[in-house]
Structure 1
Amino acid sequence: MVAAAYAKDLLLQILPTKVKAERRIADIVSAITDVKEKVEDMSKDVHKLLHGQDDQKHQAILKWLTPVDYAQQHNDFISRRQRGTGEWMLESAEFQAWLNADKQTLFCPGIPGAGKTIITAIVIDYLQSKFRDNQSIGIAYIYCNFRRKDQQKAEDLFASLLKQLAPSQPQRVKDLYNQHKKRGTRPNFDEISKTLRSVAAIYSRLFIVVDALDEYQISDDNRARFLKEIFELQDFSGANIFATSRPSREISTLFSKGLSRTISATDGDILTYLNDKITCRQSDIIDDGMRGMVRRRVIEAADGMFLLAQLHTETLLSKLTKGHLKQALQALGKGMEGLDRTYDQAMERIADQGHEAETLAKKILIWIIHSKRPLSTLELRHALAVEKSSTALDTDFLLSPKLMLSLCAGLVTFDEESSIIRLVHYTTQEYFERTQKRWFPEAESEITMSCVKYLLFDAFKSGPCLTDAEFEQRLQSNPLYEYAAHNWGNHARKSSTPYEGVTKFLESKVHVEASSQAMMVMKRYSSHTNYSQEVPRNTTGLHLAACFGLKEAVGALMELNHDPNLTDTYSRTTLWWASREGHEAVVELLLASGNVDPTIKDNKGRTPLSWAARYGHMRIVELLLASDKVDPNVKDNFYGQTPLAWAAENGQEDVVRLLLQSERVDPNAKDNYFGRVPLSWAAAEGHEAVVELLLASGNVDQTIRDNKSRTPLSWATEKGYGAIIKLLLKDAAGQNLEGELWRAIMKGLDTIVKLLLENGVDPNAKDGDGQKPLSWATEKRDKAIVRVLLENDADPNIMDNDGRTPLSRAAEGERGAIVELLLENGADPNIMDKDGRTPLSRAAENNHGDNVRLLLGRGADPNIMDNDGRTPPLLAVGQRHEAIVKLLLERGADLNIMDKDGRTPLSRAAEDEHGDYVKLLLENGADPNIMDNDGRTPLSRAAGGWNPNIMDKDGRTPLSRAAENKHGDNVKLLLERGADPNT
């Protein structure tokens, strides 16, 4: 007992002397730190340069996702908020309930003009302000707009959400970009959706706000698909969703399970608005009594419609006498009927301005209402300044934005952030659509004339620009040029009266080539050089006419002996353009002429049939197949795909059905690059209906493997398309379904794993390395898949080639939930692997306290030795895991078990100068006098020798080792404790 006490005391005094040596190291560390700081200073400039380059690439990728910037629209909307309005929404019980809990949905319907968009802007502004300093909270929003239908496909909206939520561009976003950059393609909806999910997982909370769902196009069930995916994203991420819409049974049904709050302009908000607007008016017209009357009548007539209150106020404030004001007050309309009457009155006020002003106002409205996209103010000014007989734009005819607003009697408004003059509201557009023939019967013809006149300006008679700088200068000097080049033909196609200038333009080679450069140019990223010269040359008037589907123009040019088989420098013909763009009447005209070669390939080896198939133009495919000259199995030079492969990849169900009906079509033709058959393309892209069609044809072999040995089933599994997998599993004889199970586990697709297991796949199958599905899922930390495997008879104690069980793999990492799940399902915590290590050994060595606690609670033995004789306590001490050691001690760990070298936890701790551990171990019964295989005790390891006067195998005492190592304090201590200097 005395010897043991002495050894303890000596150990606890020897270890602190080591600290003094460590202090002397500090001087060296200080010098190293000085050098390091200088190096860091020198690297700052390099870092700034690299950061700038990274930021440029970051912005380029985000712009590639989508050029749409909802932030501009939001800033415009929030700037229009009347201070003090909309607070009722933020204070409402529904909003607070939505805000303060995860995975909540708040749907806010409201009649047209109720102020839904401004309320949405207020909500977004509130969220951004509240969570400004919390980077773990994500906020993304969408403003649907009837004028931006071309930007409102489901994939566009999800791409915008992804753009807003990709703060530092996670690797998944970069991978998506790099994958498609190589092919020059765009990601499909499923790819964007999956990437969005991975980005959403970054955030602790996520808010998604969608305004004006009623203004979201509903063709092809796009809106329903968008909402379905939004709700699935909510299920996955716990996102909160806020949405507005006009009253709609279809939309309301989709939100029936969430919170709801109707948006209606409150009397208080309207009063706040009125007080601000009428305060500055001259008191001789609007005195106190009249002011009160205006307030009462406007609030009464508005009937919850903020827009109507604004329009009524605009009308009332235009009155010049008190008498006219009183008359107007009596005539105020109410509700939607009142809104139409108000618009009628606005058009009457426009007519009262005089013929010249009325003509200009109607021209402004024509362009705003009928343009194919919102025009910037500068574009609109140029459009209005085009004169019929001029060959250049005379800037003296440019209207000021202020004048344009005043001419239109409150029907248009100016968005400062985006610099766009637009209609004051969606209902305004709807009003003019209903009254089109009444107000603007020749709108499309007028716009066509202006665009074509603009494109024929002398500024473009030099043809296409020869440099990027020259091209950019041309666009800057001619603001309407880009719009006119892209859209003149779209307006001409809708025009009721053909414009004779179209043929003149199409016969002008220089003007056609200049226009085609502006139409086809694509600057892919900010540093993209020579982009303006990548546009094909030798575009003809026939090419443009076919591109826009102008049948009469095509016919007129052919009568003038224009050759339809002429190609541009990309080898594209007139038929190519008509087929690609889906203009059936033009294709029919060209083929009927007998002068067109339908087999001419473009520079990628694609025929008109390939393009028609890709874009789903079924009638054109039918017309082309009717020609004996057309080979239905022709492969392009890009990836070597057939028309059927193109149609299958792009989900063109009708075209696939049509092609399969032809005996000439080979449904199993592989492409030349990937070796994929049409079925693989359809499966990889998630086109269930196309897969079903191909399988139903009876001629498709679904076992054909591509160049990476993947079958259609492999692709469906990798992408997680459960419905397609079900179709393919109906006849999957001879296929390696175990391989698909591994693929699904690797991708984290628990529903697919379950589907495969339900179809007879062995949950205990091993891969080439002896790894088992359960072990793979465990290592991937995928609790959902682990659960599915266990529920489908996966053996929790199955071993891989290293003798490791799933529990062993789980225990050594931060996988507490999986450890618990495995233990609950019968996993044995004491199975040893080939190294003799138990799950507890792995957890203890890797400092996973939760796992240690779980294992001990399920009967794990803390004293099992591995092949080197090491117990969990010894492994934990070796890694300085004090909390783990304490846990093991609480469960009866034996501290005096020796490893194969005869070493105990105390011996290891003493040698490694772990003073705190030495004290802990000694206090819990560790024997300080146990000798290891070298005859050394823990004290010997700590002091450099044995018990004061006992010699080791080399005949050395603790005193001689302390003296040799110049441990003065230890020498003094040993002498005081009776060490013999003469031994």
Structure 2
Amino acid sequence: MSLGFEVDFLAVIGLVNQVRKSFAGAPEQFKAISDDVRGFSIVLQDIEASCTELGPEQAQEYQSVLTSCKDLLEQLKKTLENYACVAEAGKTGKRAAIKRVWKRLKWEPDDIRDIRSQISFKIATLKSLNDRVTSHSIAKLIRHQEDTEREATLKWISDINYVAQQNDIFLRCQIGSRRWLFESEIYLEWCKRKGSLLFCPGNAGTGKTFTTAMVVESLRLANDAETLTTYMYCTYQNHTQTIEKLLCSLLRIALEEADHEADETISTCKQLRSSNKNISRQYCLTLLQDLFSRFTRVNLIVDALDELTNEVRRPLIYDLLKLHEHSSVSLFVTSRGIPEIQHLFKGCEMYASLEVRSSDEDIRNFLRDNIFQLPNFVARSRKLQDEVIESVTNASAGMYVLGLIKWTLVGSALLTHSFFRFLLAELYLKSLTNMISVGSLRTRLSNLTTGSNAYDALYEDSMLRIGFQGPELEHIAVQMLLVLTCARRPLSPQELSHALSIDETSDAFDEDMIPDMDDLVAACTGLAVLDDTSNVVHLVHKSAAEYFERTSSRWFPRANEKMAFICLRYLQIAEVKPEETIGEQAPFFRYAKANWCYHSTESEKEAANDTAMGDASRTNSAAESGTSPNKIAITQLAIQQMMKEVVDVDSSIVEACHAGHHAWVEQLLVVRNYDMNIHGISQKTFISEDGSLIDSAIPTKRLRDNVLLTIAAARGDHSMALLLLERGADPNIFNAQGQTPLLIAAGNGFDNLT
């Protein structure tokens, strides 16, 4: 073993051992040297054990010292060998020869001291170097442990990884694009003015997210020690998102970007984690404000604010404005041009607005980088490539001109329509991938749809192309789009493929029936995307989700009924698996268990709507033509599942409320006719007749809350509170601590509940 040294480490140890053996039978005055050499051997063995990973500088230091050690040992060995050779030339026995060696070896006391001094110096040098390397290794181990704890704390704060998302999006950006932004006076002024707000509206497909990624990267590169740039990407894909989760995701990325300035805040979060306490909305804001106060300037970039639901978006905007006002945060926000959103920001000081748009140059660069997707006959012809690029660019530009006309007629920047250019260009390009001749390609290019219905027309075309693939591929593709449209949160590839392996005849898992995810995505003709960074599958864009929501009764009739059946049948099959391995062997299990009740409830609403509207609006689809699950079978499966899961209704509904499981709470309220006010305490218990508080009635020990409405108020769970109030919860109810929902909400700063 050389440990990366030019001088073989083991060879030096072997040389030490040879020299030690040469001192066998030495007179007393030479044994001191032998002992020193033995000490040499011990130090070298210690180094061999501890120095498994060395940096270049450390390896160089060892190399230098070992080389000098080797030279000294070889000199000592050579001296001993010279006298040994003289002795071996004689004819006497071995014992006499050894004696003659030591008699002939004349070392003066000063020479011995010099040899010993050199050996001692080498040993001391090696020990010092080894101590430094060992302490460095210990420090490295400590840092590794601290980094591991830090990473665990960050994941506890939020499981959303914006850093990976940012890196992935930026890698797909067109280098040199967005000059209309980076060279604009409005953006340059925003960069100069601390605490300013730049709102950038833009409709779907104009490249808002790519614009955001380029702004984030530009600001991060320009950061100094006094500047913090943090960011968040909003998404329509997670239907269970809450304001608390979003703020915690912002806290996590701020802590990651702040590096060592965040140590104190991370330490606070570690204590919360160890004490099993959650970070409330108000406390999260406090932590963010404290962290931001340590920097001279803070840039906060928020993308696609419009993709959040109103229940989440409004309190988030309120909190962003708090940070903007109290911490002088410079805000950069992208969103579709929704009047309500723009109105909330417009009242701020130092407000400016700049519309997100895409230039012809941006579109051409995008098409050039993706033209490889087209058939080989296009790849071989530069002329055809230029035709495709110009036709697609002009078609998407037609949408932009139409948007400008609408803007001119309306006369309001709030209603501007610089429509969809990047997304349209991508969809147009995908619609050309199946062309088989130059003629069919040019016909398709001449018929590219423009106008306000271009999106819907492209999605219609994609669905028609799915149908041309044959009945089996059509069925599985439509089923996949159904699941993606109905799912309450993003699904991983493993979850989705397992869900699609279940049908009415399934009574056990069959690995051979689980479809390949790449094949599934391909079958969806560009409507579904596999995101490797976040390991989720989702629809290509929010506009696609909105399209399928508008047309769900056409493409996915009784969608939630089918989802409920998939979940319930999956649970029935999966529950035979060992509990400790169920997550690996049955990836869809956790989603199915958490959401079967929701889909079952939604299917009842769908049935009611179908009865009211009739079947006139339906057309035959792959989802309709396939075998439909029997409603009675779903009901039976639902009852069986509920009987398994709910032994104690009271504790189950209280725990579900604490965990924020809305659908589970709603189903228990309906099916079991649960009295929400059963644990409420009378007002007379805490308030005397003269209106004063009865202190003795307040328990000294903190009790776990079991009143549903006060639980929802403590969590700041607006939608849960609305659900309970609609079902008859008493808004003036007291819990065992003598608190009312209003008192709890006001105390925690949950203004949206008060």
Instruction: Mark yes or no: TM-score above 0.5.
Output: yes
- Within the candidate set 114, 131, 137, 2:227 is matched to 137
CA distance in 1, matches of 2:384, 2:396: 18
- What residue identity is the alignment partner of 1:460? E
Q: Which residue of 2 aligns with 1:590?
A: 672
- What residue identity is the alignment partner of 1:590? R
CA distance in 1, matches of 2:214, 2:516: 31
Does structure 1 residue 233 correspond to structure 2 residue 326?
no
Q: Which residue of 1 aligns with 2:303?
A: 211
1:32-51 to 2 correspondence within 5 Å?
42-51=134-143
656 and 36 in structure 1: CA distance in 2 versus 1, 3 angstrom threshold? farther
CA distance in 1, matches of 2:487, 2:505: 23
Asked if the contact 1:144–1:210 (Cα under 8 Å) also holds between the matched residues in 2, the reply is yes
Asked if the contact 1:208–1:240 (Cα under 8 Å) also holds between the matched residues in 2, the reply is yes
- What residue identity is the alignment partner of 2:191? L
Q: Which residue of 2 aligns with 1:417?
A: 533
CA distance in 2, matches of 1:342, 1:659: 47
Q: Which residue of 2 aligns with 1:93?
A: 185
Give CA deviations for 1:2-42 in whole Å, capped at 9, x if unaligned: xxxxxxxxxxxxxxxxxxxxxxxxxxxxxx99999987655
Q: Which residue of 2 aligns with 1:114?
A: 206
Equivalent pairs: percent with the same residue?
Answer: 27
317 and 373 in structure 1: CA distance in 2 versus 1, 3 angstrom threshold? same
Unaligned runs of 5+ in 1: 1-31, 466-470, 513-540, 547-565, 599-606, 614-632, 692-983
Q: Which residue of 2 aligns with 1:567?
A: 648
- What residue identity is the alignment partner of 1:301? A
CA distance in 2, matches of 1:326, 1:388: 45
Give CA deviations for 1:77-134 in whole Å, capped at 9, x if unaligned: 2233244433443333332222233223222111221111111112222223343xx4
Q: Which residue of 2 aligns with 1:487?
A: 595
Q: Which residue of 1 aligns with 2:144?
A: 52
87 and 59 in structure 1: CA distance in 2 versus 1, 3 angstrom threshold? same
CA distance in 2, matches of 1:453, 1:588: 22
Instruction: With the length of structure 2 as denominator, give the TM-score of the two structures.
Output: 0.65
Tell me the secondary structure at the aligned position of residue 97 of structure 1. helix
Does structure 1 residue 156 correspond to structure 2 residue 272?
no
- What is the number of equivalent residue pairs in this alignment? 554
Q: Which residue of 1 aligns with 2:586?
A: 478
Does structure 1 residue 400 correspond to structure 2 residue 516?
yes
CA distance in 2, matches of 1:340, 1:659: 43
CA distance in 2, matches of 1:377, 1:246: 29
CA distance in 2, matches of 1:690, 1:271: 49
TM-superposed CA distance for 1:543, in Å, is 6.5
- Within the candidate set 365, 370, 394, 1:272 is matched to 365
Give CA deviations for 1:568-606 in whole Å, capped at 9, x if unaligned: 9xx836798699966567536635xxxx8x7xxxxxxxx
TM-superposed CA distance for 1:425, in Å, is 0.9
CA distance in 1, matches of 2:125, 2:193: 48
CA distance in 1, matches of 2:309, 2:139: 46
Does structure 1 residue 245 correspond to structure 2 residue 335?
yes
CA distance in 1, matches of 2:585, 2:284: 37
Q: Which residue of 1 aligns with 2:116?
A: none
TM-superposed CA distance for 1:489, in Å, is 2.2
Tell me the secondary structure at the aligned position of residue 452 of structure 2. helix
Does structure 1 residue 345 correspond to structure 2 residue 461?
yes
Unaligned runs of 5+ in 2: 1-123, 401-420, 608-629, 683-696
- Within the candidate set 545, 548, 566, 1:429 is matched to 545
- What residue identity is the alignment partner of 2:389? R
Asked if the contact 1:75–1:417 (Cα under 8 Å) also holds between the matched residues in 2, the reply is no
- What residue identity is the alignment partner of 1:230? L
TM-superposed CA distance for 1:488, in Å, is 2.2
Q: Which residue of 2 aligns with 1:381?
A: 497
Q: Which residue of 2 aligns with 1:192?
A: 284
- What residue identity is the alignment partner of 1:269? D
TM-superposed CA distance for 1:376, in Å, is 1.2
Tell me the secondary structure at the aligned position of residue 255 of structure 1. helix
- Within the candidate set 466, 470, 478, 1:354 is matched to 470
Q: Which residue of 1 aligns with 2:566?
A: 450
Give CA deviations for 1:291-335 in whole Å, capped at 9, x if unaligned: 444333322221341111111122134221222222222221124
Tell me the secondary structure at the aligned position of residue 336 of structure 1. coil
Asked if the contact 2:568–2:596 (Cα under 8 Å) also holds between the matched residues in 1, the reply is yes
CA distance in 1, matches of 2:382, 2:128: 75
Asked if the contact 1:206–1:239 (Cα under 8 Å) also holds between the matched residues in 2, the reply is yes
- What residue identity is the alignment partner of 2:318? K
- Within the candidate set 376, 388, 393, 1:294 is matched to 388
TM-superposed CA distance for 1:199, in Å, is 0.7
- What residue identity is the alignment partner of 1:163? R
Instruction: With the length of structure 1 as denominator, give the TM-score of the two structures.
Output: 0.51
CA distance in 2, matches of 1:454, 1:486: 12
Q: Which residue of 1 aligns with 2:440?
A: 324
TM-superposed CA distance for 1:429, in Å, is 0.7
Q: Which residue of 1 aligns with 2:749?
A: 686
- What residue identity is the alignment partner of 2:361? G
Asked if the contact 2:236–2:542 (Cα under 8 Å) also holds between the matched residues in 1, the reply is yes
CA distance in 2, matches of 1:678, 1:254: 28
CA distance in 1, matches of 2:153, 2:485: 33
Cα RMSD after superposing both structures:
4.0
1:254-265 to 2 correspondence within 5 Å?
254-256=344-346, 257-265=350-358
Tell me the secondary structure at the aligned position of residue 210 of structure 2. helix
Asked if the contact 1:414–1:422 (Cα under 8 Å) also holds between the matched residues in 2, the reply is yes
CA distance in 1, matches of 2:729, 2:501: 51
- Within the candidate set 162, 165, 174, 2:254 is matched to 165
CA distance in 2, matches of 1:423, 1:481: 22
CA distance in 2, matches of 1:642, 1:395: 44
- Within the candidate set 255, 262, 267, 1:174 is matched to 267
Q: Report the structure, 1 or 2, having the larger helix content.
A: 2
CA distance in 1, matches of 2:439, 2:307: 41
Give CA deviations for 1:863-921 in whole Å, capped at 9, x if unaligned: xxxxxxxxxxxxxxxxxxxxxxxxxxxxxxxxxxxxxxxxxxxxxxxxxxxxxxxxxxx
Asked if the contact 1:405–1:413 (Cα under 8 Å) also holds between the matched residues in 2, the reply is yes
Question: Higher relative contact order by CA 8 Å / sep ≥ 6: 1 or 2?
Answer: 2
- What residue identity is the alignment partner of 1:474? I
Asked if the contact 1:634–1:642 (Cα under 8 Å) also holds between the matched residues in 2, the reply is no
Asked if the contact 1:576–1:608 (Cα under 8 Å) also holds between the matched residues in 2, the reply is no
TM-superposed CA distance for 1:207, in Å, is 1.4
Asked if the contact 2:300–2:332 (Cα under 8 Å) also holds between the matched residues in 1, the reply is yes
CA distance in 1, matches of 2:740, 2:529: 54
- What residue identity is the alignment partner of 1:311? L
- What residue identity is the alignment partner of 2:507? T
TM-superposed CA distance for 1:661, in Å, is 8.7
336 and 185 in structure 1: CA distance in 2 versus 1, 3 angstrom threshold? farther
